Amino acid sequence: MNPNQNESDVSAALLRHAPMLPRDRVVPVCHEGKRYWVKFREERKTLRHRILKGNALAALAREKDLLLAFAKRGVSVPRIVAYSSECIILTDHGPDLTMVLEETSCADAILRRVGEALAEMHAVGVAHGRPCIRDICWDNNTATFLDLEAGARLDAGPLRQARDLLLLVHSLFSSKPVYHKHAPAILEGYIANDTKNVWPVAVKIARRSYLLELLVKPIIWRQRQRGKTSSEFYAIPTTRRFIRAYDSQVPT
């Protein structure tokens, strides 16, 4: 059988099946023993969401175009199997890092590879926009980046790329405290492959983020009063201190 014809048949079958799936944002589906993910057009249920997030059809079409463009530049993103105005159907690339880190004894090695992969992405001139550990999959070999949405850019400079790096580290500090000790591995992998000299820009941003840290202090205080000890707000000062401390150890 012609492989292209078989792939076309799979795409058609998945598109026929998609309308029968639960209308969640992202839904897994199995076909002929393989797992795929159906990402539906996001519902804009309120006027506020429509104003803030814009046209849902245009957003889905933009993500499809970004996935194709990133893949063309060699970035590891999910391959599009099928597409309609209502959904994108993507290949599976293993569990996300929140699940992987829960079960592995090789967290440093995996996160070092994730740092390398982000630097390799930046080397071809793009930025993810909001990389976080729950949106990166690991298949025992490759880190695959998901969710190229509003912040992704094909013509990104060091500022946007530095923001990528900071957000990735921040996402680790927003997760379970047991994973925080592995944060240096991300930077080790990234800095060793930083061909765009993004790291100094990230340090500069971190040093200047003390005003943001002051703004979130009342929120952190309220969360602490309620017994919460980990959140995206807690992670802001933690990330800033970590970046500054790590920079003091990096050879010049």
202-224 pLDDT, tens per residue? 999 999 888 888 888 888 888 88
- Which among 171, 45, 157, 63 is positioned nearest to 111, based on CA atoms? 171
The alpha helices in 40-157, defined as continuous H runs, are 47-53, 56-72, 97-103, 107-123
- Whole-number pLDDT of residue 50: 55
Q: Say how far apart CA 235 and CA 228 lie, in whole Å.
A: 12
Residues of the chain short of pLDDT 50, as ranges, are 1-2, 5, 47
Q: Say how far apart CA 131 and CA 154 lie, in whole Å.
A: 15
- Whole-number pLDDT of residue 54: 64
- Whole-number pLDDT of residue 1: 43
- Whole-number pLDDT of residue 128: 97
- Whole-number pLDDT of residue 102: 87
Q: Say how far apart CA 66 and CA 154 lie, in whole Å.
A: 8
- Whole-number pLDDT of residue 4: 54
- pTM for the predicted model, two decimal places: 0.90
* Domains parsed from the chain with CATH numbers: 3-91 (3.30.200), 97-247 (1.10.510.10)
**DSSP count for the chain of H helices, then E strands:** 10, 6
Torsion of CA 130, 133, 135, 139, to 10 degrees: 140
Contact call for residues 99 and 135 (beta carbons, < 8 A): no
- Whole-number pLDDT of residue 49: 53
Q: Say how far apart CA 91 and CA 68 lie, in whole Å.
A: 13
- Whole-number pLDDT of residue 112: 98
